[in-house]
Structure 1
Amino acid sequence: MKFESNMTVKGQVTVPKDIRDALGLKPGQAVAFELDGDGNARIIRADDPARIEARKEAFLGRLHETRAKFAGKALDPDMDGLEYQRMMRGDGPEV
């Protein structure tokens, strides 16, 4: 679903009621904004402990996988970006 709202000159927007209801937002409640790599923004409850814990666990999982991938591999300061990518991703089609 897509909802729209106008921004004031102060940069304020009204969060549509359907979105507030779906997120369980109440007046005065903190919200957080996330910006992804494609430039898309999301609004989330800033105080949702389950969401915070899930994001923390997901991050720690990715961190563990990355550390395991590099374990025992010597990083050569003379490697270029493509060599680093191949080391991290393995051989595959050129991009």
Structure 2
Amino acid sequence: MSQIVKITTKGQTTIPQEIRLALHVEPGDFVFWEMVEEGIARVRRVQPLDLDYLNALQGTLGEWAGDADEAAYRDL
């Protein structure tokens, strides 16, 4: 399955319907672009990270949230 599509001046393109169906993507979904090798890219559907999971994870990172850490990493 392949199709040729045109890129707009803003760098946008339309994902052809048969490709959208194969990827199971709908408006609002996220896709991930990855360069596989020179001149070849791969695209796949991805799910946004679960906010509940991120909030739970953030609670475990408190040991690195001190003033000394802020000072040490301020210029990164």
Q: Please report the TM-score for the alignment, with normalisation by the length of structure 2.
A: 0.57
Shift of 1:4: 1.3
Higher helix share: 1
Unaligned 5+ segments in structure 2 are 49-76
Higher relative contact order structure (alpha carbons within 8 Å, sequence separation ≥ 6): 2
Structure-2 residue corresponding to 1:45: 45
Structure-1 residue corresponding to 2:61: none
Higher strand share: 2
Unaligned 5+ segments in structure 1 are 49-95
Letter in 2 for 1:40: I
Percent identity between matched residues is: 40
Please give the root-mean-square deviation of Cα atoms over the aligned residues, in Å.
1.6
Q: Please report the TM-score for the alignment, with normalisation by the length of structure 1.
A: 0.46
Q: Report SS of the residue matched to 1:44.
A: strand
Structure-1 residue corresponding to 2:32: 32
Structure-2 residue corresponding to 1:18: 18
Structure-1 residue corresponding to 2:8: 8
Shift of 1:24: 0.5
Consecutive aligned runs of 4 or more in structure 1 exceeding 2 Å deviation: none
Deviations 1:23-60 (A, max 9, x none): 11010111010111233011100229xxxxxxxxxxxx
